[in-house]
């Protein structure tokens, strides 16, 4: 019988911890604090917008909140993409709303619903005109402590069995934050490449 070597088995991993994750896995891997917003989002007329540069965790925050509202629609808009149907619902999760036209946002914000938004563009003036109570959360990216937790949580998620696995030392976490200016997405992409190149269980050196 041919001996088929399992991918990442030599690292005691099931897969690369820093690859793309599914919407279903995202909440358990998120290192965010969103529980304080859950109660207010259960009532209509409230908008919560997460603002920040690319890679600072907007989508992660939305998906973490989605875990509390599994029936609420989640829509991720893309530049120049076909406009998806926006269902009528008491709560909507809308990601990358900067790609929507002002007129479309106006129609959405005028609904009798609550909305969670991820955006590069501040919609505060539009939310005020729509008569919505709102809260803006500005995301600046991961701190060293947060990134250490994210990294370890990802590695534990990918672990194949008990025993040693590759690690990312505290000194390398600090180096990544300095190099990528807290851009969590870019940091995880760099770690993906580093883990992809590992030939044995060892600490990553950036």
pLDDT tens digits, one per residue of 122-138: 999 999 999 999 999 99
Half-sphere exposure of 206 (CA within 13 A, CB side): 20
Same-domain check for residues 54 and 129: yes
Q: Is residue 84 packed enough to be buried (19+ CB in 10 Å), middle (13-18) or exposed (0-12)?
A: exposed
Identify the domain containing residue 160 by its residue range.
Answer: 142-196
Same-domain check for residues 58 and 103: yes
Task: Give the domain-ending residue among 138, 156, 174.
Answer: 138
Q: Judge whether 123 lies within some domain.
A: yes
Same-domain check for residues 45 and 111: yes
Task: Give the domain-ending residue among 106, 121, 138.
Answer: 138
Beta bridge partners, 74, equal 93
- Note the pLDDT of residue 2: 39
Task: Give the domain-ending residue among 117, 138, 159.
Answer: 138
- Note the pLDDT of residue 84: 85
- CATH number where 44 lies: 3.40.50.300
Q: Judge whether 152 lies within some domain.
A: yes
DSSP 203: B
Mean pLDDT of the chain: 94
Q: Considering the entire predicted model, what is its pTM? A: 0.90
- Per-position b or e across 98-127, b if 16+ CB within 10 A of its CB: ebbeeeebeebbebebbbbbbbeeebeebb
The answer on pLDDT for 42 being more than 60 is yes
Read off the pLDDT of residues 155-168 as tens digits, 9 standing for 90 and up.
Answer: 999 999 999 999 99
Same-domain check for residues 132 and 146: no
Structure tokens at 150: 């994210």
Q: Judge whether 3 lies within some domain.
A: no
Q: Judge whether 39 lies within some domain.
A: yes
Same-domain check for residues 108 and 167: no
- Per-position b or e across 2-29, b if 16+ CB within 10 A of its CB: eeeeeebeebbbeebbbeebeeeebbeb
Q: Judge whether 182 lies within some domain.
A: yes
- Note the pLDDT of residue 1: 37
- Note the pLDDT of residue 5: 52
Same-domain check for residues 147 and 58: no
Q: What is the DSSP string of 101-169?
A: -HHHHHHHHTSSSEEEEEESS--HHHHHHTT-EEEEEE-----HHHHHHHHHHHHHHHB-SSS---B--
Per the structure, the count of domains in the chain is 2
Q: Judge whether 91 lies within some domain.
A: yes
Q: Judge whether 19 lies within some domain.
A: no
Same-domain check for residues 190 and 113: no
How far is the C-alpha of 58 from the C-alpha of 33, rounded, in Å? Answer: 12
**Cβ–Cβ < 8 Å for 157, 33:** no
Q: Judge whether 204 lies within some domain.
A: no
Q: What percent of the chain has pLDDT over 70?
A: 98
The answer on pLDDT for 87 being more than 90 is no
- Note the pLDDT of residue 103: 95
Same-domain check for residues 59 and 123: yes
Over residues 14-30, mean pLDDT:
94
Same-domain check for residues 133 and 147: no
- Note the pLDDT of residue 4: 39
Same-domain check for residues 132 and 72: yes
Q: What is the DSSP string of 157-186?
A: HHB-SSS---B--HHHHHHHHHHHTT-HHH
Least confident of 75-89, 132-146, 168-182: 75-89
Which has more pLDDT, 84 or 99? Answer: 99
Same-domain check for residues 87 and 169: no
Same-domain check for residues 113 and 41: yes
């Amino acid at each position: 019988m041919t001996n088929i070597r399992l991918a990442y088995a030599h690292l005691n991993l099931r897969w690369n911890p820093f690859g793309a994750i599914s919407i279903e896995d995202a909440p358990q891997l998120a290192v965010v604090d969103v529980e304080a917003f859950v109660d207010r989002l259960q009532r209509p007329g409230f908008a919560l917008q997460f603002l920040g540069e690319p890679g600072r965790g907007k989508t992660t925050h939305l998906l973490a909140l989605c875990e509390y509202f599994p029936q609420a629609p989640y829509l991720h808009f893309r530049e120049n993409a076909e406009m998806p149907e926006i269902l009528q619902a008491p709560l909507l999760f809308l990601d990358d709303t900067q790609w929507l036209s002002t007129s479309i946002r106006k129609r959405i914000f005028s609904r009798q619903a609550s909305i969670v938004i991820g955006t590069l563009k501040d919609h505060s003036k539009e939310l005020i005109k729509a008569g919505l109570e709102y809260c803006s959360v500005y995301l600046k990216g991961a701190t060293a402590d947060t990134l250490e937790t994210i990294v370890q949580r990802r590695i534990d998620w990918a672990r194949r069995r008990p025993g040693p696995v590759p690690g990312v030392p505290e000194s390398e976490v600090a180096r990544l934050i300095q190099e990528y200016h807290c851009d969590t997405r870019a940091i995880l992409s760099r770690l993906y490449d580093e883990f992809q190149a590992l030939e044995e269980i060892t600490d990553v050196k950036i």
